[in-house]
Structure 1
């Protein structure tokens, strides 16, 4: 059985962050992996494959710029085993919080016995002692553009184009640019709806208008009369594209 459970703390008030860590230090089965004063830094840590994956996240709700709910929405696209315990001064977020299958909702000032109860519950869920609710199917992509989060329904996305560490996502209302790699976006999008056709391109299969008979290019448009976008299909992606098109016939 695992002896140490890694955790992170996301709390914008330094004193409250330190007080919580002090309480958590009383447990021999927990190990601090990181503490963050905002949701943006926490998301960057969690999205980094090189960072040790935490088992439990202690999360504040009301924070400058991005809230705890913003962070939970962003993490829904890449669900994992991490359990979430909310720590907040506001009771009115409780009902909404449980939409995210949290393991505990603690009001500040945090009481040690209630904290320990939530931790024990989270550890139980990690060990399948408490059955966790299955994740709900996703029908949208949540991206970060500059200092805001943008929610895009899958049906809104025509294609994604990568350039260095940015991705341009083309929709009927215009293009959005997010700091992300094409590979990560490919993993986040459902393979039944989207296909990578090039090192730089991911397309929405629903909007294919036509494609070259030798499978070197494909044309996309949202609807009749909309602009037509013709994209190259990379050599190493043509076999899979051809197979997908043959399945549609």
Structure 2
């Protein structure tokens, strides 16, 4: 789960950034929460209780408290991702002094914002960079791990089901593919199925994925497999 805070006294710019981030993160199919703060002092009070991976600070005038907030955040955590955004370049030097992770100008340009966000996501979640290289009869390509819903084996054919509905087929054994992937998000829940736990909606005696597909769980191991899934969920919080 990616947790983001936006602190800015201007409601319009907060809303614009919120909409932009929601659009981009939905495209990456990431689980995320975004909290908005108008008053910097209120944000600093909550910062001690909340844990944010990316913080966006809006600068529109020479307000000492906003600069002090950036300095305090850096003092509390020298690895915190802080991004400045403003309608002016005048705060760029201060952003460098507190080692900000980026600087965005209003109005936001989506390509620049997306490039910055993707860089920060790769920093916070290195696993999103992973991809599975496959070779079919027609092409060779890489499938990002987060695009994979589940893999299904039939005889010597492994079908890779993607979130967008596309299905790739490769000649291989599921045992071998599982070894190649070697990632905690993938769970062998049944002899013929390997699921991506990122996309599980709910679980009982089967896994229900976010696209509505139900995947069976190996008989006699329902409790053990569900425990693995619950531990995975806890590890992502």
Classify the TM-score, shorter chain.
0.3 to 0.5
TM-score, normalised on structure 2? 0.47
- More helix per residue: 2
Q: Normalising by the residue count of structure 1, what TM-score does the alignment of the two structures yield?
A: 0.45
